[in-house]
Structure 1
Amino acid sequence: MDLMKEKKFGFGCMRLPLLDKEDPASFDYDLINKLFDNYLENGFNYFDTAYTYHGYHGEEGVRKALVERHTRDSFKLATKLPLRDFKDSEDMEKIFNEQLNNSGVDYFDFYLLHNMGSNVYSKCEKYGAFDFAAKKKEEGKIKVVGMSFHDMPELLDEILSKYADKIDFVQLQINYVDWEQPNVQSRRCLEIANKYDKPVTVMEPCKGGTLINVPEEAEKLMKEYNPKASTASWALRFAASQKGVFRVLSGMNTMDQVNDNTSFMADFKPLNEEEMDIIERVTKIINDNTAIACTACEYCTHGCPKNIAIPKYFALYNSIMRTTGSFLSQMVYYNNIAIKNGKASECIGCKQCEKACPQHLPITTYLKDVTEKFEKNSIIPTRK
């Protein structure tokens, strides 16, 4: 399969629409069905989910909205082996069979080792995760093997130097803000993938929505150049313009998003030199206005002993840091969230969140900053 000839746009299923925001499995199937159908009708067919998405119900949600409603040859399904979750070689087999059942398919078109990094690499080597995926490919239960990677380029180089024959493609976080960020290094990681001739799928091209709701000054630059182009289109086109990228994923929650993204990705045109210059200026503006580079993936909350709503608190913190005015509304949100979740000050410093964070953020330090902003001289409601 020549991956570089694939359609360049995929549907990311990490943040599907919900009926209840507090229940990750309360899928709004009426809306999801329409979003999936519209995406397919526009000529695209790639859906990306994972075992851990939506509180371990993501595959089930995709099964009901996609697999049970469309013929198997009309879509391509990607899911992932949870590297933090499996215990040993037998457990990988158990999880894989569970995934087939969850998804309602006999094989996966694309299967990735999920969230590869220094925290799980030795475990993968010990229990043969690379060989496991290769074996499933030989059995015909996987068509294409990949690896989603969240770490430094040096580790990516090491892994590909050892297992290039077992990895068909790499999934990387690439966006214009993280292009040169030292904690992500999108550019360098992409260069390593290109070095080993591994096609790349892009995740987080909009950095968890950060590059959609950009500062007013940044949006003005984009609109002056092209009044009709959405901020999302700039982000997706930047990622898709890079050498070696064969697909860009986008999590879409509204019909407007599907219509917009499919419109410019159907006849994709790379960013030109002038647009790249604007991206550089926009990047500087965003970096100057962002205190915590969180993408709200929520990996940090899984297993938090104090049930702290870390991404929600960071979003509120970023919001108040972007303005010199009153932050009363953000304080109200903080207090409401703290009713059912741990407060930032309740962090015990176990740092399991930092080990799980794909962005390698010093979360426990940032939680102290959040505490200072939201809890000092503030009355926080008691949790029920």
Structure 2
Amino acid sequence: MATKKLGFGFMRLPLKDQNDPASIDLDAVKQMVDAFLERGFTYFDTAYMYHGGQSERAIREALVKRHDRDSFTLATKLPSMFLKNEGDQERIFEEQLEKCGVEYFDYYLLHNLNTSYYEAVKRFDSFAFVQKKKEEGKIRHMGFSFHDTPELLDEILTAHPETEFVQLQINYMDWESQSIQSRRCWEVARKHGKPVVVMEPVKGGMLAALPEKAEQLLKEHQPERSLPSWAIRFAAGLEGVMMVLSGMSGMEQLLDNTGYMQNFEPLSGNEQALLQQVVQSINETIAIPCTACEYCVKGCPKNIAIPKYFSMYNMDNREKLRTGDPNRWTINELYYANMAKTFGKASDCIGCRKCEQSCPQHIEITKWLRKVADVFETQPA
């Protein structure tokens, strides 16, 4: 029987405290893992840095300790952004085996290759390191996740034909995006004959909560289908896609996703055309294309809750566009004030741009933080 194309991403798990990404609700995760496996899905994806470093441990507790090793496939990643000294790769890899509670990984990726992190990978000969682990039987398949230009992707795949698969950000919003360039990156992977694992198919949840006009377009066509189903089916229907990851944060999402993916049907031509209208409608309302991956938060010297502030800004902007009132007060102002008591304010940004070096979406974060401060920190006269 063919492997079902939906993977469970351990990146946006249910939390006990929404302000603490490490406070994973393990009881809820265990129930989700069991339901996922019961419905015939087997692929799980985690990473060293997810959930404040606790995602791999959650995999061990919720999955590895409770299910036979041959009943699932497990993917994790070598954090290229954390490679500073000789010996880091070996230390991290052994730590990952221990944290996950396994003797081997089915899929192992170099994490988040872009222009700067690829330099680190070259400096520490990371491809050779992963190849060695494969020869030792500790890795079954080697690949990398990627967030940069199609030209760089072509360069890496040309230099490293031993790569067995690539993980790309693909969704219908980013398909023709000038910054993410999903389609062109997918075309490069196809040119090299590499299977593709899709990440961010719902763009960090953005495509699960659409502007009213965009949602209406989809609901008029198929009222019973969820909004995320359109995004995941778009990605899963592309040639060469072996797996689509979903960072599911609750049982409702998991049951929905596994429901329509059990007997997967690609989008029709008419449905593809409909999504183009949806993209146009979304682009009229979205300000900051943030997916809340939180890569930018690590190392911020001012502890600014960047993705949370961007989400508030987008919601605030959408409400003002909807009403046509740029001075309208929204509840997001209250949320911002409350959160700024725990985290650094947007105006605390010192412009070091560490966040921008880490951002897979290539967002000008420092510029947008100034706009966030202008909206939420300017006191009325």
Taking structure 1 as the reference length, the TM-score comes to: 0.96
Report the Cα distance in structure 2 between the residues aligned to 1:304 and 1:251, rounded to whole angstroms. 24
Q: Does the CA-based 8 Å contact 1:5-1:246 persist in structure 2? A: no
* Residue segments in structure 1 that go unaligned for 5+ positions in a row: 380-384
Residues 1:345 and 2:347 aligned together: yes
Counterpart selection for 2:290 from 294, 299, 314? 294
Q: Does the CA-based 8 Å contact 2:316-2:330 persist in structure 1? A: no
- Provide the secondary structure at the position in 2 that maps to 1:286: helix
Correspondence for 2:338: 336
Counterpart selection for 2:267 from 267, 271, 276? 271
Runs ≥4 residues deviating over 4 A: none
Shift of 1:7: 2.2
Letter in 2 for 1:114: H
Report the Cα distance in structure 2 between the residues aligned to 1:10 and 1:67, rounded to whole angstroms. 16
Counterpart selection for 1:129 from 126, 131, 135? 126
Letter in 1 for 2:65: E
Residues 1:59 and 2:56 aligned together: yes
- Provide the secondary structure at the position in 1 that maps to 2:276: helix
Q: Does the CA-based 8 Å contact 1:354-1:361 persist in structure 2? A: yes
**Comparing 252-261 with 41-50, which one deviates more in the overlay?**
252-261
- Provide the secondary structure at the position in 2 that maps to 1:146: strand
Q: Deviations over 1:259-290 (max 9, x none)?
A: 11111111111100000011000011111110
Correspondence for 1:382: none
Report the Cα distance in structure 2 between the residues aligned to 1:89 and 1:245, rounded to whole angstroms. 35
Shift of 1:378: 5.8
Shift of 1:253: 1.8
Letter in 1 for 2:368: Y
Shift of 1:5: 5.0
Correspondence for 1:206: 202
Q: Deviations over 1:17-50 (max 9, x none)?
A: 1111122222211111111100000000110000
| 1:172-251 equivalent positions in 2, closer than 5 A | 172-251=168-247
Correspondence for 1:284: 280
- Provide the secondary structure at the position in 2 that maps to 1:11: strand
Report the Cα distance in structure 1 between the residues aligned to 2:109 and 2:373, rounded to whole angstroms. 37
- Provide the secondary structure at the position in 1 that maps to 2:22: coil
| 1:1-384 equivalent positions in 2, closer than 5 A | 5-165=2-162, 167-324=163-320, 325=323, 326-377=328-379
Q: Does the CA-based 8 Å contact 1:237-1:269 persist in structure 2? A: yes
Report the Cα distance in structure 1 between the residues aligned to 2:43 and 2:329, rounded to whole angstroms. 41
Letter in 2 for 1:75: F
Shift of 1:88: 3.3
- Provide the secondary structure at the position in 2 that maps to 1:147: strand
- Provide the secondary structure at the position in 1 that maps to 2:115: coil
Q: Does the CA-based 8 Å contact 1:89-1:128 persist in structure 2? A: no
Letter in 2 for 1:192: V
Report the Cα distance in structure 1 between the residues aligned to 2:38 and 2:170, rounded to whole angstroms. 27
Report the Cα distance in structure 2 between the residues aligned to 1:378 and 1:251, rounded to whole angstroms. 39
- Provide the secondary structure at the position in 1 that maps to 2:266: coil
Q: Does the CA-based 8 Å contact 1:118-1:155 persist in structure 2? A: yes
Shift of 1:146: 1.2
Identity %: 55
Letter in 2 for 1:302: K
Q: Deviations over 1:121-180 (max 9, x none)?
A: 111111100111111111100001110000010000000000022x10000000000011
Aligned residue pair count: 375
Letter in 2 for 1:346: D
Report the Cα distance in structure 1 between the residues aligned to 2:350 and 2:304, rounded to whole angstroms. 11
Report the Cα distance in structure 2 between the residues aligned to 1:6 and 1:255, rounded to whole angstroms. 22
Taking structure 2 as the reference length, the TM-score comes to: 0.96
Shift of 1:247: 0.6
Report the Cα distance in structure 2 between the residues aligned to 1:378 and 1:60, rounded to whole angstroms. 47
Report the Cα distance in structure 2 between the residues aligned to 1:270 and 1:140, rounded to whole angstroms. 36
- Provide the secondary structure at the position in 2 that maps to 1:252: coil
Shift of 1:89: 4.0
Q: Does the CA-based 8 Å contact 1:63-1:102 persist in structure 2? A: yes
Q: Does the CA-based 8 Å contact 2:347-2:370 persist in structure 1? A: yes
Q: Does the CA-based 8 Å contact 1:170-1:193 persist in structure 2? A: yes
- Provide the secondary structure at the position in 2 that maps to 1:340: coil
Letter in 1 for 2:217: L
- RMSD over aligned Cα atoms: 1.3
Report the Cα distance in structure 2 between the residues aligned to 1:130 and 1:354, rounded to whole angstroms. 25
- Provide the secondary structure at the position in 1 that maps to 2:257: helix
Letter in 2 for 1:274: N
Report the Cα distance in structure 2 between the residues aligned to 1:105 and 1:87, rounded to whole angstroms. 26
Report the Cα distance in structure 1 between the residues aligned to 2:380 and 2:49, rounded to whole angstroms. 36
Shift of 1:341: 0.7
Q: Does the CA-based 8 Å contact 2:3-2:41 persist in structure 1? A: no
Report the Cα distance in structure 1 between the residues aligned to 2:330 and 2:41, rounded to whole angstroms. 44
Report the Cα distance in structure 2 between the residues aligned to 1:79 and 1:259, rounded to whole angstroms. 24
